[in-house]
């Protein structure tokens, strides 16, 4: 499976493409950032980032696009810009029929470093080691994008198993409810048949 990891941002949007093999085998295909000038209008900046992200999608042909889930921060303006980039990326992926997955920062940190509270430096160090890179990806947004891609590759099998288990549990619950309903209807029918027929007369 090939995954394009996206660390959304208006000024720097991290991009990382990773191939997954058997087990936990992963290999870096490409890494970089999409940039937009801070002095440009918002619409223009979104278009600049979207154009570069779409170019990566067409060039590397990923099967899944993994995006960092946006969480509220103190800087509302930054959060809004990040959320808007996430929406643009998800739309571009959907138009190409690609699966879109969102992962929280803590999920990514836990998958890569073993701790959901790891800092950016630790994540960068670990992703460099995991992918066997000659040097650490720069800037940190690029390293985060690779981490997102690897996180999805490692979490996807577990997520699939959970989804299958939930589907089986839901099916069992539906079957159980159907059996209960059928049993209740059968008992009601038996009671009606056993009730004495007075022919409409009363004493």
Is 23 part of a structural domain of the chain? Answer: yes
Q: Which residues, 6+ apart, have CB-to-CB distance to 120 below 8 Å?
A: 140, 143, 144
Does residue 173 carry a pLDDT above 90?
Answer: no
CB atoms within 10 A of CB 7: 27
Is 180 part of a structural domain of the chain? Answer: no
Is 167 part of a structural domain of the chain? Answer: no
Average pLDDT, the chain: 89
Enclosing domain of residue 129:
2-161
Is 184 part of a structural domain of the chain? Answer: no
Closest CA to 62 of 111, 29, 107: 29
Is 203 part of a structural domain of the chain? Answer: no
> What integer is the mean pLDDT of 163-173?
70
> What integer is the mean pLDDT of 19-41?
95
- Residue 58's pLDDT band, with cuts at 50, 70 and 90, is very high
The tally of domains found in the chain comes to 1
Does residue 117 carry a pLDDT above 90?
Answer: no
Cis peptide before 139 (omega within 30 of 0): yes
User: What pLDDT, on a 0 to 100 scale, did the predictor assign at position 156?
Assistant: 74
User: What pLDDT, on a 0 to 100 scale, did the predictor assign at position 37?
Assistant: 96
141 among annotated binding-site residues = yes
Is 47 part of a structural domain of the chain? Answer: yes
- Residue 42's pLDDT band, with cuts at 50, 70 and 90, is very high
What pTM did the predictor assign?
0.77
- Residue 203's pLDDT band, with cuts at 50, 70 and 90, is very low
Catalytic residue set? 7, 68, 141
Is 35 part of a structural domain of the chain? Answer: yes
Interval 120-133: pLDDT, tens: 899 999 999 999 99
Identify the CATH number of the domain in which residue 10 sits: 3.30.420.10
Q: Do residues 26 and 19 lie in contact, with contact meaning Cβ atoms separated by under 8 Å?
A: yes
- Residue 170's pLDDT band, with cuts at 50, 70 and 90, is confident
Pairing assessment for the beta strands 64-68 and 26-35 based on DSSP bridges: unpaired
**Rounded to a whole number, what is the distance in angstroms from the first to the last CA of the chain?**
80
Interval 131-152: pLDDT, tens: 999 999 999 999 999 999 999 9
Q: What is the C-alpha separation between 143 and 125, in angstroms, rounded?
A: 9
Is 171 part of a structural domain of the chain? Answer: no
7 among annotated binding-site residues = yes
Higher per-residue confidence, 97 vs 189 = 97
Percent of the chain with pLDDT over 70: 89
């Amino acid at each position: 499976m090939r995954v394009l990891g996206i660390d959304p941002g208006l000024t720097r949007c991290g991009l990382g493409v990773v191939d997954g093999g058997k087990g936990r085998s992963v290999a870096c295909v490409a890494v970089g950032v999409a940039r937009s000038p801070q002095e440009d209008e918002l619409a223009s900046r979104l278009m600049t980032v979207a154009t570069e992200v779409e170019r990566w999608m067409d060039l590397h042909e990923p099967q899944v696009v993994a995006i960092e889930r946006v969480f509220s921060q103190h800087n509302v303006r930054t959060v809004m810009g990040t959320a808007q980039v996430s929406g643009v990326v998800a739309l571009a992926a959907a138009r190409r029929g690609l699966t879109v997955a969102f992962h929280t920062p803590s999920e990514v940190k836990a998958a890569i470093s073993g701790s959901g509270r790891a800092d950016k430096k630790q994540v960068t160090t670990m992703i460099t080691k995991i992918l066997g890179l000659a040097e650490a990806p720069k800037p940190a947004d690029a390293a985060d994008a690779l981490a997102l891609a690897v996180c999805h590759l490692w979490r996807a099998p577990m997520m699939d198993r959970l989804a299958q288990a939930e589907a089986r549990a839901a099916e069992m619950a539906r079957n159980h409810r159907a059996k209960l309903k059928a049993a209740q209807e059968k008992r009601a029918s038996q009671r009606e048949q056993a009730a004495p027929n007075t022919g409409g007369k009363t004493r």
